Chains A and B, each alone.
Chain A
Amino acid sequence: DSGVTQTPKHLITATGQRVTLRCSPRSGDLSVYWYQQSLDQGLQFLIHYYNGEERAKGNILERFSAQQFPDLHSELNLSSLELGDSALYFCASSVTFRSWELFFGEGSRLTVL
């Protein structure tokens, strides 16, 4: 499958812990986006990377950080987890930063207990 791949698909952890979500973009795509989808919320934009550099930042908490590596995969780090961080985290990729046809992964479902 040459689409966007996200791991893990499901993750259950406790408050105060730290997790890392991983995203591999489509082959050839240089832009990676992260979104959070909580219960009753739409897709909240977190951050956008293009070719390894941060391109735009949304309402991303200071406890969250992300990066895009030279091989273009991206990781979203969530620390000091709270119950409210439980959500579906989507990664999407696109060819360039001006190509707004985003290709989404299946998401990583995080449950904080």
Chain B
Amino acid sequence: AQRVTQPEKLLSVFKGAPVELKCNYSYSGSPELFWYVQYSRQRLQLLLRHISRESIKGFTADLNKGETSFHLKKPFAQEEDSAMYYCALIAGNTGKLIFGQGTTLQVKP
């Protein structure tokens, strides 16, 4: 079965510190992976997708098939990065976008 695991419910860092939000997935085929973000009082929205290999708001994520991970990283956290982050997986052509349980990132001044 397809599954996305985000082991940390809460990650608290100081401004300027590096950030790594962990995401592990379970899927036997070739996954497509995404990070979604929900800022306070805003709607859940797409942050980035692995196939784009892009950096959005300073965040990057690399798909590691050997470790079945798709961790989200940023070298220097900003207070405005405080939000709820969800890792998500598309399993093949199933039409299902499966989300992890989410990690709240708190960036302290």
User: Chain A: residues with CB nearer than 8 A to chain B?
Assistant: 3-4, 33, 35, 40-45, 48, 50, 55-56, 58, 90, 92, 97, 100-106
Contact = CB atoms under 8 A, between A and B. Distances in A.
Nearest to B99: A43
18 contacts: A42-B99, A42-B100, A43-B44, A43-B99, A43-B102, A45-B97, A45-B98, A50-B95, A58-B96, A100-B46, A100-B49, A101-B46, A101-B49, A102-B36, A103-B45, A104-B43, A104-B44, A106-B43
The dominant DSSP class at the B interface is strand
Interface of B: 6, 32, 34, 36, 43-46, 49, 86, 90, 94-102
Given A42-B101, A43-B86, A102 B46 contact: yes
B63 to A, nearest CB: 15
B97 A102 contact: yes
A53 to B, nearest CB: 11
